[in-house]
Amino acid sequence: MCLLFLASCKTPPVSLAKIEGKEIPISEAIKPDEDISNFIKPYHDHVIKSLDSILAYAPDTYNKSNGEYNTAIGNFMADAIYEESNPIFKSRTGHDIDFVLLNKGGIRAQIAKGNITLNTAYEIMPFENSIVVAAIKGRNVNEAITYLSKAKTAHPISRLKLVINSNFNIIEALVKGQPINENKTYYVATNDYLYNGGDNMTFFKPSDSVYVLNYKLRNALIDHFSKVDTINPVIDDRFIQIK
């Protein structure tokens, strides 16, 4: 009798029949928890103070839309990456970086006229992309040049000069003022996203080797801002079209 009684009292199996969700809007109407607010306030104030710290001054506003094949902000950033990363690369390898190639889409904000702060650098470069140096042959450099000539946009470059005609054919291509030697190894600074094929820049692979500097693009930009009093980005002739 006992066994029959226990068997008859078993809980029937339960199955999930329906899941419902409800949106809880976040607004100022929701009062913050005072204890949590008091706890995080010193950290919040410290972060805000750091982000508002002034690094340099911009005499004008610079954005990536101001320029057809090269822009003042793009030129400034590519040059800054070269100047900050080349000493690191040379100290480790004994080689100089030959040129820098970044992507226009990686510039996420303008540099506004006035004080340049730490927050400015985070707005321009919000991603955690790092600088890498790819060792590629001249034939791969020519692939990069062809890519740039057909892209019809202002990807930031430094120590590289490119002239194209109205049909987007290459008239002149120079690395540090010299014609490209297909058999020579060139050391190209870029970011890890592009090295891995981002924006269809597949010419970095296969590379002879790649050097990871453990140096974020943003940090290089911050270091460069910290070294100058007033920046002076300009549009120049590093990438032009002759029509």
69-119 pLDDT per residue, tens:
999 999 999 999 999 999 999 999 999 999 999 999 999 999 999 999 999
Total-model pTM: 0.82
Partnered with residue 189 across adjacent β-strands are: 100, 133
Of 82, 58, 92, 27, which Cα lies nearest the Cα of 228?
A: 58
With a CB cutoff of 8 Å and minimum separation 6, the contacts of 165 are 171, 241, 242, 243
Rounded distance, CA 19 to CA 53, Å?
A: 48
Return the C-alpha torsion angle 86, 88, 93, 95, nearest 10.
Answer: 20
CATH superfamily of 51-242: 5'-Nucleotidase, C-terminal domain (3.90.780.10)
Q: Give the CA angle between residues 111, 113, 116 to the nearest 5°.
A: 60
Q: Give the CA angle between residues 79, 80, 82 to the nearest 5°.
A: 65
Rounded distance, CA 169 to CA 177, Å?
A: 19
* Residue 52 clears pLDDT 90, i.e. is over it: no
Confidence class of residue 134 from pLDDT cuts 50, 70 and 90? very high
Of 143, 158, 151, which Cα lies nearest the Cα of 217?
A: 158
> What local confidence, expressed as pLDDT, does residue 2 receive?
46
User: 139 is written with which tokens?
Assistant: 């034939």
Element (H, E) at 62: none
pLDDT tens digits, 135-155 = 999 999 999 999 999 999 999
The amino acid at residue 222 is I
Domain ranges of the chain: 51-242
